[in-house]
């Protein structure tokens, strides 16, 4: 640790504001305020811990910039040899499902934790969920019950940081039993707050007019001249915003299909920036101090939070906890894939436009690079990951080729559960930066693990180097691992109906058969 940083630590200790809580007459735990660093300072601190002097710069997303990202497919595979999810660390080939579950899967989870996403600390404090409000709402033509929830993280060990996880659970009101639920990373809150009735509005309006008239007595005359005018009016019916394919919004489709959904707020678990790493759940566990190299990054923290959300869902009788899925787009697509990979209770995932750190191969040089994830986006990952962007360090230098795992392993950890990899098209804004091709290559390679476990994979000819990416709108939806590039932009919305049908069909086909294989699945039928 350089002198400057040590001094800062010391100063923080000396002049830090003291946060106090009185938990009992005799006991007064005192917690120093969390350390305040800019993202640049925190990034530098991790470089210092790792002995890194210089990091290679990430490419620019602007194609006109001189240092723009590579979009030449001929240059996209500088490290064509992928670490094999089905070869153990000691070189033994994985030939049986038993070997996968007992040895290889734990090895891969360990490699991905240690070098890529960071570890969930052993003793993360307990989360206690409270339903803070229940509302009866309408989503489209479906009556729903919406519960707003707060998961309070026990902060007795460090009261200076308060983490309150926020999510909203919405289930169809007329469901006959527990329903499947798709948890979606995004803003939580009531989706369609129910308004007061006409009678109630009338009472609100006369009270409101009385208050206004009290404030300004001349208004009495105005009200008298316009007796029918009311300050508060019922919101007129609004047509929903259709997606690019003319479909209803995701939430409408889900409840109409008899599913529930959860809006899960990742920012309530961990901020989406480097300066936030000494706060949120990561900061709480570290008592306000910066991370060490194997500590979790924001993606793993968001995934952990989703798992705590699932803990609650397991206790809610309106939810079929064996059919809870996870969904997200872009950085939350990465988070959805990480959630699905590490928490085996999630039964399905819709991974939208996830790119680097998500479905695409870290070894690919196309669009966003490893150097992007070791630069400005470093806080999504473990500190350790920064080594792979280092050009000058006490350990020399490293490149993406040195990463002992890749995204094929991350997708493989989801096997044999229902995993749908989704993208849009660059023409509509799902940028080339995300590397659709590299994501397909990783999915193809991971498919072998689904097959090993008796599930059905993508079902394409060839391997990750030779298999042909299907045309836009042509889904590979016959197996437990699915792929579809829709013709919309940076969103999963045009794939939602495909996802719902595919998952429903998979569940229906499995019903009555306790094994995963032996079924002819045709996920394409039905939808347009
Ligand atoms: C950037 C970033 C991507 C990320 C995206 C987003 O483009 O490089 O990794 O997926 O933002 O989350 O919107």
Q: Is the CB of 387 under 6 A from ligand 1?
A: no
DSSP string, 355-413: -TTTTS-TT--SSS-HHHHHTTTGGGS-GGGGGGGEEEETTB---GGG-S--HHHHHHT
How many angstroms is it from 193 CA to the middle of ligand 1? 31
Q: Which of 270, 341, 336 is nearest to 113 (CA)?
A: 341
CA distances from 208 to 149, 219, 222, 230, 330 (A): 31, 12, 14, 9, 45
Buried b (16+ CB within 10 A) or exposed e, 194-205: eeeeeeebeeee
Using CA atoms, how far apart are residues 313 and 320, in angstroms rounded to an integer? 8
Q: What is the pLDDT of residue 73?
A: 96
113-190+250-518 CATH: 3.40.50.1820
Atom of ligand 1 nearest to the CA of 332: 12
Atom of ligand 1 nearest to the CA of 372: 8
Q: Which of 316, 179, 144 is nearest to 259 (CA)?
A: 179
Instruction: Dig out the tokens for 183 from the structure.
Output: 């948890």
Atom of ligand 1 nearest to the CA of 490: 13
Q: Is the CB of 331 under 6 A from ligand 1?
A: yes
Q: Is the CB of 270 under 6 A from ligand 1?
A: no
DSSP string, 197-231: PHHHHHHHHHHHHHHHHHH-TTHHHHHHH-TT--S
How many angstroms is it from 330 CA to the middle of ligand 1? 6
Query: Which residues in the chain show pLDDT less than 70?
Result: 1-30, 511-528
Whether 143 and 172 have beta carbons less than 8 Å apart is answered as yes
Q: What is the pLDDT of residue 24?
A: 42
Q: Is the CB of 360 under 6 A from ligand 1?
A: no
Q: Is the CB of 368 under 6 A from ligand 1?
A: yes
Residues in Cβ contact with 59 at an 8 Å cutoff, skipping those fewer than 6 apart: 67, 68, 69, 70, 367, 368, 369, 371, 372
3-class SS of residue 293: coil
The pTM score is 0.90
Q: What is the pLDDT of residue 518?
A: 34
Q: What is the pLDDT of residue 29?
A: 55
- What is the sign of the dihedral through the CA atoms of 453, 455, 461 and 465? negative
Q: What is the pLDDT of residue 30?
A: 65
Residue with tokens 């811990």: 49
Q: Which secondary-structure segment (H or E) carries 105?
A: helix 105-111
**What do you get for the CA distance between the two ends of the chain, in Å?**
59
Q: What is the pLDDT of residues 243-286, one digit of tens each?
A: 888 999 999 999 999 999 999 999 999 999 999 999 999 999 99
Q: Which secondary-structure segment (H or E) carries 484?
A: strand 481-485
Q: Is the CB of 492 under 6 A from ligand 1?
A: no
Q: Is the CB of 490 under 6 A from ligand 1?
A: no
Q: What is the pLDDT of residue 426?
A: 97
Q: Which of 273, 338, 368 to probe ligand 1 with, by most ligand atoms within 8 A of CB?
A: 368
Q: Which of 404, 299, 305, 401 is nearest to 357 (CA)?
A: 299
Domain map (residue ranges) of the chain: 113-190+250-518
CA nearest ligand 1 atom 12, residue: 331
Q: What is the pLDDT of residue 245?
A: 84
How many angstroms is it from 334 CA to the middle of ligand 1? 9
């Amino acid at each position: 640790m350089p002198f400057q940083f040590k001094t800062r630590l010391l100063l923080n200790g000396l002049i830090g504001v003291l946060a106090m809580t009185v938990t009992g007459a005799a006991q007064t735990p005192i917690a120093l305020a969390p350390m305040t660093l800019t993202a640049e300072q925190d990034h530098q601190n991790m470089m210092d811990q790792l002995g890194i002097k210089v990091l290679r710069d990430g490419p620019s997303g602007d194609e006109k910039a001189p240092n723009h990202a590579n979009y030449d497919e001929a240059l996209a595979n500088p490290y064509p040899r992928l670490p094999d999810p089905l070869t153990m660390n000691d070189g033994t080939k994985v030939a049986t499902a038993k070997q996968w579950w007992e040895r290889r899967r734990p090895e891969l989870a360990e490699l991905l934790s240690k070098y890529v996403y960071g570890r969930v600390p052993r003793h993360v404090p307990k989360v206690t969920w409270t339903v803070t409000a229940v509302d009866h709402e309408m989503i489209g033509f479906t009556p729903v019950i919406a519960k707003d929830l707060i998961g309070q993280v026990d902060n007795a060990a460090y009261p200076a940081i308060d983490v309150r996880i926020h999510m909203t659970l919405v289930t169809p009101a007329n469901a006959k039993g527990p329903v499947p639920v798709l948890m979606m990373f995004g803003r939580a809150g009531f989706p369609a707050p129910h308004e007061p009735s006409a009678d109630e509005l009338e009472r609100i309006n006369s009270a409101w007019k009385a208050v206004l008239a009290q404030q300004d007595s001349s208004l009495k005359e105005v009200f008298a001249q316009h007796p029918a005018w009311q300050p508060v009016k019922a919101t007129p019916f609004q047509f929903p915003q259709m997606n690019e394919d003319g479909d209803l919004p995701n939430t409408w489709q889900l409840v109409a299909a008899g599913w529930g959904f959860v809006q899960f707020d990742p920012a309530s678990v961990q901020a989406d920036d480097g300066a936030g790493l000494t706060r949120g759940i990561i900061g709480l566990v570290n008592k306000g101090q910066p991370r060490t190299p194997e500590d979790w990054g924001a993606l793993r923290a968001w995934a952990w939070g989703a798992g705590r959300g699932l803990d609650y869902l397991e206790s809610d009788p309106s939810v079929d906890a064996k059919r809870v899925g996870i969904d997200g787009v872009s950085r939350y697509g990465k988070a959805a894939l990480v959630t699905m990979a590490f928490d085996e209770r999630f039964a399905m995932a819709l991974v939208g436009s996830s790119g680097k750190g998500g479905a695409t191969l870290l070894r690919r040089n196309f669009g966003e690079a490893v150097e992007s994830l070791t630069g400005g986006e470093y806080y999504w990952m473990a500190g350790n990951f920064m080594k792979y962007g280092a050009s000058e360090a006490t350990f020399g230098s490293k490149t993406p080729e040195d990463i002992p795992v890749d995204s094929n392993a991350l997708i493989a950890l989801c096997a044999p559960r229902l995993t749908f990899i989704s993208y849009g098209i660059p023409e509509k804004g799902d940028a080339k930066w995300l590397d659709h091709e590299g994501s397909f290559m990783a999915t193809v390679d991971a498919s072998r693990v689904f097959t090993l476990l008796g599930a059905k994979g993508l079902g394409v000819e060839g391997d990750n180097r030779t298999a042909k990416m299907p045309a836009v709108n042509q889904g590979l939806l016959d197996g437990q691992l699915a792929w579809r590039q829709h013709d919309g932009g940076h969103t999963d919305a045009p794939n939602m109906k495909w996802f719902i049908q595919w998952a429903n069909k998979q569940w229906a086909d499995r019903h009555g058969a306790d094994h995963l294989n032996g079924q002819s699945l045709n996920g394409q039928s039905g939808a347009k």
